[in-house]
Amino acid sequence: MKIHIKNSRLIDPRNGINAISDLYIVAGKVAGVGDAPEGFNANQTIDASGLVVCPGLVDLSARLREPGFEYKATLESELQAAVAGGVTSLACPPDTDPTLDEPGLVQMLKHRAKLLNLAHVYPLGALTRQLEGRQLTEMCELHEAGCVGFAQTDAPLNDTRVLLRAMQYAATFGFTVWLRPQDAFLAQGGVAHDGEVAARLGLAGIPAIAETVALATILRLAAETGAKLHLCRLSTRIAVEMVRKAKQSGVAVTCDIAANHLHLTEHDIGFFDANCHLKPPLRSQRDLEGLREGLQDGTIDALCSDHTPVDDDAKLLPFAEAEVGATGLELLLPLTLKWAADAGVTLPDALARITSIPAGILGLDAGHLGVGSSADICIFDPLQYWKVEAKSLASQGKNTPFLGLELAGKVRQTLVHGQVVYQKP
Amino acid sequence: MNNPQLTKDGKLKHLLSIEGLPKTILNQILDTAESFAGVSEREVKKVPLLRGKTVCNIFFENSTRTRTTFEIAAKRLSADVVSLNVGTSSQAKGETILDTVDNLIAMHADMFVVRHAQSGAAHFIARHVPSHIHVINAGDGRHSHPTQGLLDVFTIRRHKREFHNLRVAIVGDVLHSRVARSEIHALTTLGVPEVRVIAPKTLLPADVERLGVQVFHDMRAGLKDVDVVMMLRLQNERMSGALLPSAQEYFKCYGLTQEKLALAKSDAIVMHPGPMNRGVEIDSSVADGSQSVILPQVTYGIAVRMAVMSILAGNPE
Amino acid sequence: MSKLPDAELLVETLAEQIRPLLERNVALVGIHSGGAWLAQRLQQQLGDDIPLGSLDISFYRDDFSRIGLHSQVKPSSINFEVEGCHIILVDDVLYTGRTIRGAMNELFDYGRPASVTLAVLVDRGGREIPVEAQVVGAKVQLKPGENLELTRDQAGKFHFILHEAA
Touch between chain C and chain A: 3 or more Cβ pairs under 8 Å: no
Class (C level, CATH) for C7-164: alpha beta
Beta-carbon-side half-sphere exposure of residue B26 (alpha carbons within 13 Å): 26
**Cα–Cα distance measured from residue A402 to residue A184, given in angstroms and rounded to the nearest whole number:** 29
pLDDT at B89 over 60: no
Yes or no: say if A295 and A195 are a contact pair by the CB < 8 Å rule: no
Chain B interface includes A266 (CB < 8 A): no
Would you kindly state where each structural domain of chain C is located, as residue ranges?
7-164
- Decide if B120 and A196 are in contact by the 8 Å CB cutoff: no
Q: Under 8 Å CB-to-CB from B102, ≥6 apart: which residues?
A: none
**What is residue C165's predicted lDDT score, i.e. its pLDDT?**
72
As a whole number, the mean pLDDT across chain B is: 93
Q: Which residue of B102, B119, B127 to mutate against A (max A Cβ within 10 Å)?
A: B119
Sequential DSSP letters for A23-63: EEEETTEEEEESSPPTT---SEEEE-TTSEEEEPEEES-B-
pLDDT at B179 over 80: yes
Which has the minimum average pLDDT: A78-82, A186-190, C139-143? C139-143
For residue C20, what is the DSSP state? G
**What is residue A214's predicted lDDT score, i.e. its pLDDT?**
98
Q: What is the pTM of this model?
A: 0.89
pLDDT at B237 over 80: no
**What is residue C2's predicted lDDT score, i.e. its pLDDT?**
59
Yes or no: say if B33 and B300 are a contact pair by the CB < 8 Å rule: yes
Yes or no: say if A17 and A33 are a contact pair by the CB < 8 Å rule: yes
**What is residue B42's predicted lDDT score, i.e. its pLDDT?**
80
Architecture of domain B23-144+298-313: 3-Layer(aba) Sandwich (3.40)
Q: Which residue numbers of A are catalytic? A: 306
Å from C95 to nearest chain B CA? 23
Mean pLDDT along residues A398-421: 97
**What is residue B88's predicted lDDT score, i.e. its pLDDT?**
54
Chain C interface includes B311 (CB < 8 A): yes
Chain A interface includes B141 (CB < 8 A): yes
Mean pLDDT along residues A54-76: 92
The predicted-structure confidence for B3-43, as pLDDT tens digits, reads as follows 899 998 899 999 999 999 999 999 999 999 998 988 888 87
Chain C interface includes B316 (CB < 8 A): yes
Q: Tell me how crowded residue A45 is: count the other CB atoms within 10 A of its CB.
A: 12
For residue C165, what is the DSSP state? P
Residue of B nearest to C59 (CA): B49
The predicted-structure confidence for C14-63, as pLDDT tens digits, reads as follows 999 999 998 779 999 999 989 999 999 999 999 989 999 999 988 898 88
Query: DSSP 3-state assignment of B12?
Result: strand
The predicted-structure confidence for A318-362, as pLDDT tens digits, reads as follows 999 999 999 999 999 999 999 999 999 999 999 999 999 999 999
Angle (CA) A295-A300-A303 rounded to 5° is: 75
DSSP strand pairing (B80-85 vs B54-59): parallel
Consecutive H or E run containing A92? strand A87-92
Which residues on adjacent β-strands are paired with residue C150?
A: C160
Touch between chain A and chain B: 3 or more Cβ pairs under 8 Å: yes
**For chain C, percent of residues with pLDDT exceeding 70:** 98
- Decide if A320 and B118 are in contact by the 8 Å CB cutoff: yes
Question: Which chains border A (3 or more CB–CB pairs < 8 Å)?
Answer: B
Helix (DSSP H) and strand (DSSP E) numbers for chain B = 12, 9
**For chain B, percent of residues with pLDDT exceeding 90:** 79
The predicted-structure confidence for A113-136, as pLDDT tens digits, reads as follows 999 999 999 999 999 999 999 999
- Decide if B43 and C110 are in contact by the 8 Å CB cutoff: yes
Å from B315 to nearest chain C CA? 5
**What is residue C68's predicted lDDT score, i.e. its pLDDT?**
82
DSSP strand pairing (A176-179 vs A150-151): parallel
Å from A323 to nearest chain B CA? 14
Q: Under 8 Å CB-to-CB from A65, ≥6 apart: which residues?
A: A72, A73, A74, A75, A78, A96, A309
The predicted-structure confidence for B114-147, as pLDDT tens digits, reads as follows 999 999 999 999 999 999 999 999 999 999 999 9
Before A94, cis peptide (omega within 30)? Answer: no
**What is residue B90's predicted lDDT score, i.e. its pLDDT?**
53
pLDDT at B103 over 60: yes
Would you kindly state where each structural domain of chain B is located, as residue ranges?
23-144+298-313, 146-294
Rounded to a whole number, what is the largest CA-CA distance in chain C?
46
As a whole number, the mean pLDDT across chain C is: 91
**Cα–Cα distance measured from residue A19 to residue B60, given in angstroms and rounded to the nearest whole number:** 62
For chain C, how far is it from start to end, CA to CA, in angstroms? 16
Mean pLDDT along residues C104-126: 94
Mean pLDDT along residues B248-253: 95
The predicted-structure confidence for A288-314, as pLDDT tens digits, reads as follows 999 999 999 999 999 999 999 999 999
Residue ranges of domains in chain A, CATH in brackets: 2-53+374-384+408-423 (2.30.40.10), 56-362 (3.20.20.140)
The predicted-structure confidence for A365-393, as pLDDT tens digits, reads as follows 999 999 999 999 999 999 999 999 999 99
Residues on chain B touching C81 (C-beta within 8 angstroms): none
For residue A390, what is the DSSP state? G
pLDDT at B259 over 90: yes
Chain C interface includes B43 (CB < 8 A): yes
Residue C60: which of B28, B48, B314 has the nearest Cβ? B48
Yes or no: say if A275 and A401 are a contact pair by the CB < 8 Å rule: yes
**Alpha carbon distances (Å) from C33 to B27, B46, C56, C74:** 20, 23, 8, 9
Å from A166 to nearest chain B CA? 32
Q: Taking the alpha carbons of B176, B177, B180, B184 in that order, is the dihedral positive or negative? A: positive
For domain B146-294, give its CATH number from 3.90.380.10, 3.30.70.3040, 3.40.190.10, 3.40.50.1370. 3.40.50.1370
Query: DSSP 3-state assignment of B281?
Result: coil
